[in-house]
Structure 1
Amino acid sequence: MKISARNTLSGKITAIEIGSVNNEVTIELAPGVVLTSVVTKASCERLNLKVGDSAYALIKASSVMIGVDD
């Protein structure tokens, strides 16, 4: 697989919260480091995603905002 996204993070699916249209997929990237993504229910089914499976989080953004406390 070749993709244009530079931020490709591998991990293990730890949870899938199923909704009527979208699902929330949580991937543990490292112990205690998790990322949650909202994807369509159809995409979850097409990719056959299951808890315990290995997966990649692909992040591509034209801008990233950073904030700090006052």
Structure 2
Amino acid sequence: MEISARNSLKGTVKKVVHGGVNTEITLELAPGIELVSIITKSSAETLGLVEGKQAHAVIKSSDVIVAVD
């Protein structure tokens, strides 16, 4: 994966909470350090985000974007 954003944090999906339109993703970056992002439900499904999957939190400006390899 190549991306222009400078801040990418690799972690493990710890929790996925689907809503009607959005999904809340909790990534564990290190033991006891978590990051939470709200993305569209469609994006979570397309990325195959499930507990235990490795993913990247990509921070650009005030947004956190979740990416997978």
**Is this a same-fold pair by TM over 0.5?**
yes
Matched, 1:51 2:51: yes
Take 1:3 and 1:54, find their aligned partners in 2: how far apart are those partners? Answer: 17
Q: Which has the larger radius of gyration?
A: 1
> CA shift at 1:2, angstroms?
1.1
Structure with higher strand content: 2
> CA shift at 1:55, angstroms?
0.5
* Aligned residue type for 1:36: V
Matched, 1:23 2:23: yes
Alignment of 1:1-70 (within 5 A): 1-61=1-61
Cα RMSD, aligned residues only: 1.0
Q: Which runs of 5+ in 1 are unaligned?
A: 63-70
Take 2:52 and 2:3, find their aligned partners in 1: how far apart are those partners? Answer: 24
Per-residue CA deviation, residues 26-54 of structure 1 (Å, 9 max, x unaligned), is: 00001100000000000011111110101
3-state SS, counterpart of residue 34 of structure 2: strand
Q: What TM-score, normalized to structure 2? A: 0.86
Runs of 4+ in structure 1 off by over 4 angstroms are none
Paired residues, number: 62
* Aligned residue type for 1:10: K
Q: What TM-score, normalized to structure 1? A: 0.85
* Aligned residue type for 2:26: T
Q: Which runs of 5+ in 2 are unaligned?
A: 63-69
